[in-house]
Structure 1
Amino acid sequence: MSASGEEHAISLDDIRAAARVIDGHVITSPMIHSPRLSQLTGAQVQLKLENMQATGAFKERGAVNRLAALDAHARAAGVIAMSAGNHAQAVAYHARRMKIPATIVMPEATPLVKVENTIAHGARVVLHGETLVETEAEAKAIAAREGLTMVHPFDDPLVMAGQGTIALEMLAQCPDIDTLVVPIGGGGLISGIAVAARALAPEIRIIGVEAALYASFHNVLTGDDRPIGGATLAEGIAVKHPGRLTLPIVRDLVEEIVVVEEDLIESAVNACATYQRTMAEGAGAAGIAAMLARPDLFAGRNVGVVLCGGNIDARILASVMVRELEREERVVAFRIYSHDRPGLLGRVSTRLGELGANILEVSHGRLYLDVPAKGVTVDLTIETRDAAHTAQILAALRDEGYEPRRIDPRGLMQAGP
């Protein structure tokens, strides 16, 4: 029941019915305790590994529940969905299993891995628009022309109920969790989870997470006016407007929404890879990002985190991990100035080795106008143990007359020593 007295779009009975429908079509994903992430966040972290579904994300649950409800005529005509990737793959994968033709409309900037996977699942893919708003308009136009049934990624009661089955499993797997952290895009996942969890455990806290560039629910619920839009690592939750059916549920059942910046989303993706040895896309790791952003909300609590997807491009993951090394000052670039004499690079390399640094990259510069005609610059990128080790190395080089000057990740010289 909503605050206005209206019925919510789904109930616990709907979610239990969805669990029966999807049984055998999707896996009951593991829920594991993560000691390393617990240590990092100050809470007991229980990860719900929805990245282990066949298509790498939770979206299969809602897709199966919706597809299973189609009548014979709708199955023959086919379905259409609009998605940045995970919903697309889920609909395509299970539509092929059920012998239902599928068309997927995706934003033009959708990561290549998600486009390729969707095509591999047998769907017709149409790339259209920069945002999901434009993509949805195109999907509706195609549906009207071709008589296709729309499978909405979040604003559909059957889809919402399917996603809510995650909460049934989490509370069965770990009955003593007291807080759930759930990423929010259009709100289908958190709506289903909130309805099920609050019905079964009324005192449980539901915390939502939005990317700062797409804080649409936060804006509506708080009256804030954050700008909406931009390139985010969490493209799976990059939704500009709350769902019509999901908003009342989030308003009534979600205790707080944490807005997370891009650097913390990157840190969370890196933490999942390095501490938990599991793949998480930006949206998938948003729950961990929220715990890093607001440790006060979670300290000492038993927290269930929905790691909702793992479909991240390998190149993006590699970039994120290197950027995190730079943030931790374990990878650092600097420039030294010296007279252009034979053996300079050998002496510097030997000294860095003695100091315990690993040289990743070296570049000479003799033609810069700020370098004397008989001078040379050497740009080095090194790997160190941590920030303190980096500071020790630069101090040693400075004491030995090399005058190292830091180069920031954008290639700009930093002022001072």
Structure 2
Amino acid sequence: MDFGFGAEDEVFRGEVREWLAGHVDGAQDRRVWERTLGKSGWIGLGWPEGGYGNRTATLTQQVVWAEEYARSGAPARSGHIGEKLLAPTLLAHGSDEQKARFLPPVAAGEELWCQGYSEPGAGSDLAGVRTRATRVEDGTYRISGQKIWTSLAHEADWCFVLARTDPESRRHHGLSFLLVPMDQPGRIEVRPIRQMTGTSEFNEVFFDGAHARAEHVVGGEGRGWQVAMSLLGFERGVSTLAQQVGFAEELTRVVQAAARTGAVSDPVVRALLVRQWAELRTMRWNALRTLGGSGDAGASSVAKLLWAGWHQRLGELAMLVRGAEATVGPGDWSPSSPYELDALQHLFLFSRADTVYGGSDQIQRTIIAERVLGLPREPKGVV
């Protein structure tokens, strides 16, 4: 494919850089930052025009925005689940009323979302969800069950929940995709999960008779599996290129650490660093090829396999080049703050999960084998 940036894209790049330079400094509160983005129309660049309060941009301009945002040092987004996952799903499957109700607050940065998919017994095997939603006399649904690894649930206003609305159904049948308000004291409990990095981005969420309105079922009752699979297809797109900008910055820090400690003089270490650089360039071109529409049905699974393994190896390399100092934190230990991590230590620990979350490596390989290569389906119950 011929993917390049034209003159209009470069004009747009200048506008983006100027705006970010004037707003990033001092941006601390992530919720306030979302509203700042929304006021200038930067949320929802890939959506069509529809009176939702968003700007529209070409595909190449969306890439420009994503890359410049990553380079600017702007705060991590807390609204990306609503913008990148919920919104495309509503545009594809939602009713006009659902789009009118939910898209403008997302575009304004006013309502934040989380994703209620994984459960303790149904992570990568999403069809095994046990959370139930029962229709009651007033026309609403009552939801009971547990979700886990729910990113940003402690901050979210809403959650899109995959639940079983047909109690007699099995696997991917009888599921529905419901939009559930999180402000339901006594009916929804959020418990942060403390990670070995010391942070708590993920949560357990318990639903005890939480309600959802009947008109907030997306795609119709019983079509949750189709809607959920459609949403997963939106997870990896332009944002992958922004992710790679962050990867490049991490690789630069690893190279700098290798130069500082003298590890770069080791030919094996040099070869590993060059390999990381070359693979990152390959991932970029693969992502651009996929955006151009020439990727196959398993392109997102291939991309996930590539970057997850790459990022894990980078974390391991970050520890290798630092030697013994990698085991010592940057601050003094205290009972109230057991340890601190520097950026490369955080990279190493957090990247251990890369090959598990968002669909494990085993699941991605199964998707490629069955849906792309046409190999026989894996027998159920075989380890």
* Structure with the larger strand share: 1
TM-score (norm 2): 0.25
Q: Which has the larger radius of gyration?
A: 1
**Greater relative contact order (Cα < 8 A, sep 6+):** 1
